[in-house]
C-alpha cells in the first residue's frame, strides 16, 4: 500500500486589500503548483490590457469575480510542500461576505491572517481574528504584508505585532508566529528574504509545515450524535442500525450506552460497516453505525454517550456567544430553529447580555436585537430540552447554528447551561391566567350539569395503528351516551401556524402548542376533548399537559410504547376493533372523569 500524503486546509483571512490573494498567488507560483502556462497566460493578458501583472489575478478563476474586482466567495486551490499537500482557501475580506469567509474558515485547520504593514490593523483584521477564535482555529500565523512599502523596517513590524498580540490575548488566541512579508516580491513567503535580515523566524511555507493537526479526539468522552436510524429490509437485511459520526471518544461492542436527552439506555451489540472487516471498536472521526442489544425507540438527533462517563448537559436554556449573518436581525418572541450536531429544536432568544463591537471589542449595552454581523452574548431557550456540552469541554457538541426562513443565519458556541425555572411556557401560562376573565360558572357546576368532568384524551403511539378510528369511535360512543365529547384532528388547518408550516421541526412543536391552547379553552368549556397525535414524545406530552392544566390529560397509547418516562393511563393493542378500544377507554374514564356516582348512570 502506498503511503498517503498528509493534507491540511488553510484559510487566508484579513482586511480587504491587505494582500490575501497576492499571498496565495505567490505561494502557488513559488511552490510550482500552477497549471502549465497559467502564469504566462495571465501575464500576457495583463500586457494586452496594459495593466501591471499581479499575483492576485491568478486566483480570479471566475469571470464575474474579475468584473467586480473582489473575491466574492471562498475559492480553493492546492499546493504542496515537501511535508504535505495544502488546500488553500481564499476568504473574502469584504464585510458583506462574512458568511463566505466563515464557510471557508470553518473548513480550515490553520489560518494565515494578513495585515497590511502600511495601513496597519483595520476593522476586519480584528473581526477575522475574533472569528478564528470563535471557530476554534488554533493554528494561526499573522502575516504582516507589504513590508516593501515601509522599506522593510523592523519598527513597523514590531509595532503591529505588539498591538495585535494584545488584541488576540483578549480573545484567548495565541498565534504561532508573526511573519513580516512582501507577498508581491515573494519575501519570506517560501524562502527567507535577505531584505529583512533582522527577521530570524520561519518563512510562511515553513510555518505552515510546523502546524500540527488537531489532537485526536478518541480519548475524550464518547459523543455519538445519532444522524439517522436505518432498517433496510432488502435482501432480508434485518439490522436496525443507528448511524452517525462519532464526534469524540470511542465505542466498543458491549459498552453500556445512554441516549440523551431521552435517557433511554441499551448496550452496543455490533459495529456495522460495508466492505470492511468487522470491527469491535469505532472512534472519533468515523461515520459509523451500531446495532443495539435491546430494541429501543429513539429519534435522530439524540446523542449516544457511555453510561460510565461524564455526560453532556441536558437543559433547555444556555448562555452562548453568537454571531449573526441574517439580513433580518435576531429578535425576541420569535421561533427560530436550532441545529446542534444532529439535533434540531425550536429556539427563542430569551435575553441579550451584551452585543460586542468586534472591531473595538467593547460591549454595546442595551441593544434589544442582534443585527447583521454583530457578535453577542445571549441566553437562548429551546422549546424542548437538548443535550449539549460547553465549548470548552467538547467543541463538536458545544456549537450550533440558527436557521430562519430556510437559511443558516447565525452560529454560536455554548458557554454554560442555565438552570432556572422560568421558561417561556410558564411565562405564557402566567400571562394567560392573569388576563383570563373568569365566568360565574365554576368547573364544578359545569361538571354536575354535564354529568362528567372535562378532560383532554390524547391517543398516541406509532403511526398507522388506527388511533383516529378509535378516537372517532370514542367520540361516537360518548356522544350516544349524552356526553359532551368532541374529536379534534391535529391536521385541522386552523391549528397550523402558516408562517411555520413548512418547517418540520417548528411546525411539529407549533402544532402541539396550538393543540394545548385549544385544549385549555375547550376543557374549560366543560368538554371531553379527544385528539390523536402520532409519536408524541415525553417533552411534547409534558408541554401539552402543562397547557391543559388545571384540567386532566389522559394518555392512551396504541401499539408500541415508546415513552421513556411518561406515565400512560391505558395501553391498547394496534388493530383492535375501534369500538372495543373505545369501551376500554370508557372504563378508564369511569374511574377518573365520570366518577361521580350520584350523577353517573
Partner 1 sequence: MTKTLTKLESLEAQSVYILREAYREFKNLAMLWSIGKDSTVLLWLSRKAFFGHVPFPLVHIDTSFKIPEMIAYRDRLAKEWKLNMIFGQNKAALAEKRTFPDGKLDRIACCKTLKSEALKHTLAGDWPRYRLNHQTGQYDLDANKEPYTGVIVGVRADEEGSRSKERYFSPRDRNNEWDVGDQPPELWNQFKTDFAPGTHVRIHPLLDWTELNIWEYIEQEKIPVTKLYFDQGEGKRYRSLGCFPCTFPVESTAKNVQDIVQELKTGKFANIAERSGRAQDKEGGGGLEVLRVDGYM
Give, as ranges, the residues between 312 and 351 that touch partner 1 (CB under 8 A).
325, 337, 339
The CA-to-CA distance between both ends of the chain, in Å, stands at 84
Using CB under 8 A, count the residues that bind partner 1: 71
Footprint on residues 165-224 left by partner 1 (CB under 8 A): 216, 218-219
**Interface residue with partner 1, options 13, 28, 75, 207 (CB under 8 A):** 75
Instruction: In angstroms, give the least distance from the CB of 186 to partner 1.
Output: 20
Q: According to the binding rule CB under 8 A, does residue 234 interact with partner 1?
A: yes
Stretch 489-508 residues interacting with partner 1 (CB under 8 A): 502-503
Q: Does 74 bind partner 1 (CB under 8 A)?
A: yes
Return d(Cα 186, Cα 145) in angstroms, integer. Answer: 10
From 10-18, 146-154, 266-274, 512-520, span contacting partner 1 (CB under 8 A): 266-274
Closest to partner 1 by CB, 75 vs 352, is: 75
| Beta sheet of 528-532, edge-to-edge order | 485-489, 528-532, 455-460, 552-558, 570-572
Helices (H) and strands (E) in the chain, counts: 13, 27
Set of cell numbers at residue 490: 391535529
Distance, C-alpha 519 to centroid of its chain: 32
Query: Which residue number, 469 or 537, has a Cβ lying nearer to partner 1?
Result: 537
Indicate the helix (H) or strand (E) that contains 498: none
Minimum distance from residue 378 beta carbon to partner 1 (Å): 18
List binders of partner 1 among 398-427 (CB under 8 A). 399-401, 403, 406-408, 411
**Cell triple for 382:** 429551546
Pairing of strands 250-252, 241-245: unpaired
For partner 1, which residue of 40, 170, 237, 481 counts as binding (CB under 8 A)? 237
- Cβ closer to partner 1: 188 or 397? 397
What is the number of other CB atoms lying within 10 angstroms of the CB of residue 66? Answer: 11
Contact flag: residue 250 with partner 1 (CB under 8 A): yes
For partner 1, the closer CB: 164 or 400: 400
Record the cell numbers describing residue 235, joined without a space: 435482501
Q: Taking each helix axis from N to C terminus, what angle separates 154-170 and 123-135, rounded to the nearest 10 degrees? A: 50
Phi, psi torsion values for 581, nearest 5 degrees: -65, -45
Q: How far is CA 232 from CA 224, 237, 240, 300, 535, in A?
A: 21, 6, 8, 16, 21
Find the shortest distance in angstroms from Cβ 218 to partner 1.
5
Q: Which of these, 525, 326, 499, 514, lies nearest to 436 by C-alpha position?
A: 525
What is the DSSP annotation of 307-367? TTS---EEEEEEEEEEEE--SSPB-BS--EEEEETTEEEEEEEEEEEEEEETTTTEEETT-
**Nearer CB in complex with partner 1: 7/442:** 7
Identify which of residues 119 and 535 has a Cβ nearer to partner 1 in the complex.
535
Nearer to partner 1, 283 or 484 (CB): 283
Nearer to partner 1, 62 or 430 (CB): 62
Query: For residues 582 and 473, what is the distance between their CA atoms, to the nearest angstrom?
Result: 6
**Of how many residues is the chain composed?**
601
With contacts defined by CB under 8 A, name the span among 186-194, 200-208, 268-276, 467-475 that binds partner 1.
268-276
Interacting span for partner 1 (CB under 8 A) from 190-198, 244-252, 313-321, 541-549:
244-252
Residue from 30, 221, 255, 272 in contact with partner 1 (CB under 8 A): 272
Closest CB to partner 1 among residues 300, 354? 300
Does 371 bind partner 1 (CB under 8 A)? Our answer is: no
Question: Which among 121-129, 277-285, 559-567, 583-591 is the span making contact with partner 1, rule CB under 8 A?
Answer: 277-285
**250: β partners:** 283
Contacts (CB under 8 A) with partner 1, residues 376-395: none
Q: Which is nearer to partner 1, 192 or 229 (CB)?
A: 229
Q: Which residue number, 59 or 556, has a Cβ lying nearer to partner 1?
A: 59
Among 17, 154, 300, 496, binds partner 1 (CB under 8 A): 300
Q: What is the longest distance spanned by two Cα atoms in the chain?
A: 105
Q: CB 276 → partner 1: shortest distance, Å?
A: 8
Cβ 93 vs Cβ 15: under 8 Å: yes
The edge-to-edge listing of strands for the beta sheet with 241-245 is 224-225, 303-306, 256-260, 264-271, 287-292, 241-245, 228-230
Note whether 304 binds partner 1 by CB under 8 A: no
Q: How many degrees, rounded to 5, is the angle at CA 85 between CA 192 and CA 110?
A: 70
Q: Does 245 sit near partner 1 (CB under 8 A)?
A: yes
Q: Establish if 103 lies at the interface with partner 1 (CB under 8 A).
A: yes
Residue carrying the nine cell digits 535580515: 197
Can you tell me which of 198, 230, 392, 600 binds partner 1, judged by CB under 8 A?
230
Half-sphere exposure of 486 (CA within 13 A, CB side): 14
CB of 390 to partner 1, least distance (A): 15
77 binds partner 1 (CB under 8 A): yes
Handedness of CA 282, 285, 286, 288 (dihedral sign): positive
**In terms of CB distance, is 281 or 441 closer to partner 1?**
281
Position 253 contacts partner 1 (CB under 8 A): no
Report if residue 100 touches partner 1, rule: CB under 8 A: yes
The dihedrals phi and psi of 382, each to the nearest 5 degrees, come to -85, 150
Identify the residue among 94, 153, 195, 239 touching partner 1 (CB under 8 A): 239
Instruction: Please tell me the distance from the alpha carbon of residue 599 to that of residue 596, in angstroms, as a whole number.
Output: 6
Measured from the CB atom, the residue of 300 and 462 that comes closer to partner 1 is: 300
Closest to 90 (Cα-Cα) out of 106, 70, 104, 80: 104
Look up residue 455 and give its three cell numbers.
378532560
**What is the spatial distance between Cα 446 and Cα 484, in angstroms, rounded to a whole number?**
11
Closer residue to partner 1, CB minimum distance, 102 or 173 = 102
Only segment of 96-104, 138-146, 352-360, 488-496 that touches partner 1 (CB under 8 A): 96-104
Q: Tell me the per-residue interface mask from 120 to 159 with partner 1, x by CB under 8 A, - otherwise.
A: ---------------x------------------------
Q: Show contacts with partner 1 in window 29-68 (CB under 8 A).
A: 34-37, 61-64
Amino acid at each position: 500500500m502506498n503511503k498517503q500524503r498528509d493534507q491540511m486546509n488553510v484559510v487566508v483571512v484579513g482586511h480587504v486589500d491587505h494582500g490575501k490573494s497576492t499571498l496565495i498567488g505567490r505561494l502557488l507560483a513559488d511552490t510550482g503548483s500552477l497549471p502549465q502556462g497559467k502564469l504566462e497566460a495571465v501575464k500576457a493578458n495583463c500586457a494586452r490590457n496594459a495593466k501591471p501583472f499581479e499575483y492576485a489575478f491568478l486566483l480570479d478563476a471566475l469571470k464575474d469575480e474579475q468584473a467586480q474586482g473582489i473575491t466574492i466567495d471562498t475559492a480553493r486551490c492546492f499546493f504542496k510542500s515537501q511535508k504535505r499537500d495544502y488546500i488553500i482557501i481564499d476568504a473574502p475580506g469584504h464585510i458583506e461576505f462574512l458568511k463566505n469567509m466563515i464557510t471557508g474558515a470553518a473548513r480550515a485547520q490553520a489560518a494565515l491572517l494578513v495585515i497590511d504593514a502600511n495601513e496597519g490593523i483595520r476593522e476586519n483584521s480584528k473581526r477575522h481574528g475574533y472569528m478564528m477564535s470563535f471557530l476554534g482555529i488554533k493554528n494561526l500565523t499573522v502575516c504582516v504584508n507589504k513590508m516593501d512599502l515601509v522599506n522593510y523596517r523592523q519598527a513597523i513590524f514590531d509595532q503591529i505585532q505588539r498591538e495585535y498580540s494584545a488584541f488576540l490575548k483578549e480573545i484567548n488566541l495565541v498565534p504561532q508566529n508573526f511573519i513580516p512579508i512582501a507577498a508581491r516580491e515573494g519575501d519570506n513567503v517560501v524562502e527567507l528574504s535577505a531584505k529583512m535580515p533582522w527577521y530570524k523566524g520561519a518563512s510562511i511555507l515553513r510555518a505552515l509545515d510546523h502546524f500540527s493537526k488537531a489532537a485526536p479526539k478518541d480519548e475524550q468522552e464518547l459523543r455519538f450524535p445519532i444522524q439517522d436510524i436505518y432498517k433496510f429490509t432488502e435482501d432480508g437485511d434485518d439490522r436496525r442500525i443507528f448511524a452517525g459520526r462519532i464526534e469524540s471518544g470511542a465505542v466498543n461492542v458491549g459498552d453500556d450506552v445512554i441516549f440523551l436527552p431521552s435517557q433511554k439506555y441499551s448496550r452496543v451489540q455490533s459495529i456495522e460497516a460495508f466492505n470492511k472487516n468487522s470491527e469491535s471498536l469505532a472512534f472519533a472521526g468515523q461515520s459509523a453505525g451500531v446495532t443495539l442489544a435491546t430494541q429501543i425507540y429513539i429519534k435522530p438527533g439524540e446523542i449516544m454517550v457511555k453510561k460510565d462517563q461524564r455526560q453532556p448537559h441536558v437543559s433547555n436554556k444556555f448562555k452562548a456567544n453568537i454571531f449573526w449573518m441574517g439580513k433580518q436581525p435576531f429578535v425576541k418572541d420569535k421561533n427560530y430553529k436550532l441545529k446542534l450536531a444532529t439535533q434540531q429544536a425550536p429556539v427563542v432568544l430569551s435575553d441579550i447580555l451584551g452585543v460586542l463591537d468586534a472591531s473595538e471589542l467593547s460591549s454595546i449595552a442595551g441593544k434589544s436585537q442582534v443585527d447583521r454581523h454583530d457578535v453577542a452574548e445571549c441566553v437562548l431557550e429551546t422549546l424542548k430540552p437538548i443535550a449539549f456540552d460547553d465549548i470548552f469541554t467538547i467543541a463538536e457538541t458545544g456549537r450550533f447554528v440558527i436557521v430562519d426562513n430556510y437559511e443558516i443565519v447565525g452560529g454560536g458556541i455554548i458557554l454554560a447551561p442555565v438552570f432556572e425555572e422560568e421558561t417561556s411556557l410558564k411565562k405564557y401560562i402566567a400571562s394567560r391566567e392573569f388576563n383570563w376573565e373568569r365566568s360565574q360558572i365554576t368547573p364544578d357546576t359545569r361538571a354536575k350539569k354535564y354529568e362528567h368532568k372535562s378532560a383532554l384524551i390524547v391517543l398516541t403511539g406509532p403511526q398507522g395503528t388506527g388511533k383516529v378510528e378509535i378516537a372517532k369511535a370514542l367520540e361516537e360512543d360518548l356522544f350516544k351516551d349524552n356526553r359532551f365529547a368532541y374529536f379534534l384532528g391535529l391536521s385541522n388547518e386552523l391549528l397550523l401556524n402558516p408562517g411555520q408550516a413548512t418547517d418540520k421541526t417548528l411546525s411539529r412543536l407549533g402544532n402541539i402548542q396550538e393543540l394545548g391552547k385549544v385544549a385549555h379553552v375547550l376543557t374549560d368549556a366543560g368538554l371531553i376533548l379527544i385528539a390523536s397525535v402520532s409519536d408524541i414524545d415525553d417533552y411534547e406530552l409534558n408541554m401539552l399537559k402543562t397547557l391543559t392544566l388545571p384540567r386532566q390529560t389522559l394518555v392512551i397509547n396504541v401499539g408500541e410504547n415508546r415513552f421513556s418516562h411518561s406515565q400512560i393511563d391505558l395501553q391498547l393493542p394496534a388493530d383492535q376493533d375501534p369500538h372495543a378500544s373505545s369501551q376500554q377507554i370508557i372504563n378508564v374514564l369511569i374511574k377518573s372523569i365520570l366518577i361521580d356516582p350520584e350523577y353517573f348512570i
